[in-house]
A and B are shown apart, each in its own frame.
Chain A
Amino acid sequence: MTSPAVQDLWVYLATSPLFWLGLTLAAYLGADAIAAATGRHPLANPVLMAVATVCIVLFATGTSYPTYFSGAQFVHVLLGPATVALAIPIIRNRAAIRRDLRALVGALVVGSATGVASAIGIAVLCGGSEVLVRSVAPKSVTAAIAMGVSREAGGLPELTAVVVIATGITGAVLVTPLMNALRLRDWRARGFAVGLAAHGIGTARALQVHPLAGTFAALAMALNGVMTAFLTPVLLRVMGG
């Protein structure tokens, strides 16, 4: 900040919630354009790039998180209604649910329990603290739901958000080589697995690969969101995380 006029302008902007809301939207749109330019490669994740951009701006300007959140909260508050909206993929695909009911229910129960229990078990075995274990337990479901689960369980929702996104990227990168190694060719099974284990990022990957995989991934993402919300507190209690 060179001249007093610029200094004054900055003080005005930095205290305006609208500035931080605008920065959030601009960072996301910029990151999304980069992701699109890479052909939506899972490693070029728009959320992670947008988060990094905003963090750099906050660091460079010495802005606190509460100041930033005064503007960003207007985006954040929509997470609740968006979570309710996840009912849409379930209702839209009710024909697929009826057709493959047994496989869907079985894979949902086994996959959801495996996702939560293995996260708790591995975190404990690697010497993770209690708050870390509680923050990573719901890592496979969309951040919209995982953050609420983490908060209810005594974890740190902000840490959960970042771990969830990293899980999504990991799942989207691993799914094709892993399924090929298993010689698993059923698009329903492949899609359901990646949607369940890697939520929206996995679903986006499935849609790129095969439409049937995309349908089952979207379904798995929504169903596992509900399943994990109910299962996590139970497994945390049983496994003493």
Chain B
Amino acid sequence: MLRPLLLLIALQFLGEATVRLLAVPVPGPVVGLTALVALCAAWPAVFGFVEDTAEALLKHLSLLFVPAGVGVLQHLGLLAREWWPIAGVLVLSTAITLVATALTFQWLARPAGPDGSEP
């Protein structure tokens, strides 16, 4: 539990260091994520090593959003002023993204079985 957690933290800092040194506007943990994918591809044993701890973190991922979500209290004025563009983005952009993604996937994939399952 502790050693895999330390690996995740180390990879996050590797990511933070990389984006700062290269001055790219990408969150450090995302680079840490890609580094973990690369590590697991190179040494499959790494996957078994981090799997349980990573799963435990992902299982409660939504809990981790609560403190930041409460921070919206600081921006209630902006929320009240700009509810219209926010509502527009929520409904239209989400619908367009769903349709564009699903149609592209279906267009490029081998046709699914009659019940929609893997061909």
Contacts and interface: CB of A to CB of B under 8 A. Distances in A.
B1 interface: no
28 contacts: A24-B63, A28-B66, A50-B66, A68-B67, A78-B57, A84-B54, A85-B33, A85-B55, A86-B58, A91-B37, A103-B105, A106-B105, A111-B101, A125-B88, A126-B89, A142-B61, A143-B65, A147-B68, A152-B27, A158-B69, A161-B65, A162-B69, A165-B65, A182-B103, A188-B112, A189-B102, A222-B33, A229-B26
Given A110-B100, A111-B104, A158-B71, A79 B58 contact: no
A122 B85 contact: yes
B37 A122 contact: no
B17 interface: no
Given A83-B32, A107-B104, A189-B105, A55 B68 contact: no
A186 B67 contact: no
Contacts of B70: 51, 54-55, 58, 65, 68, 72, 158
Interface string B42-69: 0000010011011101100111111111
A14 interface: no
B50 A88 contact: yes
Interface in A46-83: 46-48, 50-51, 54-55, 58, 65, 68-69, 72-73, 75-76, 78-83
A36 interface: no
A112 to B, nearest CB: 8
B38 to A, nearest CB: 9
- The 3 A-B pairs of least Cβ separation, nearest first, read A148-B27, A158-B71, A111-B101
A179 to B, nearest CB: 6
A178 interface: yes
Which among A25, A80, A156, A200 has the highest number of chain B CB atoms within 10 Å?
A: A80
A196 B33 contact: no
Contacts of A175: 98
B66 A75 contact: yes
A115 B105 CA distance: 15
A103 B68 contact: no
Given A80-B12, A119-B89, A198-B94, 18 more contacts: A81-B29, A84-B35, A87-B37, A88-B50, A106-B105, A106-B107, A118-B89, A123-B86, A126-B84, A128-B86, A157-B71, A162-B69, A171-B97, A178-B95, A196-B97, A212-B118, A220-B101, A230-B26
A38 interface: no
Contact of A159 (B30, B37, B79): B79
A218 B11 CA distance: 21
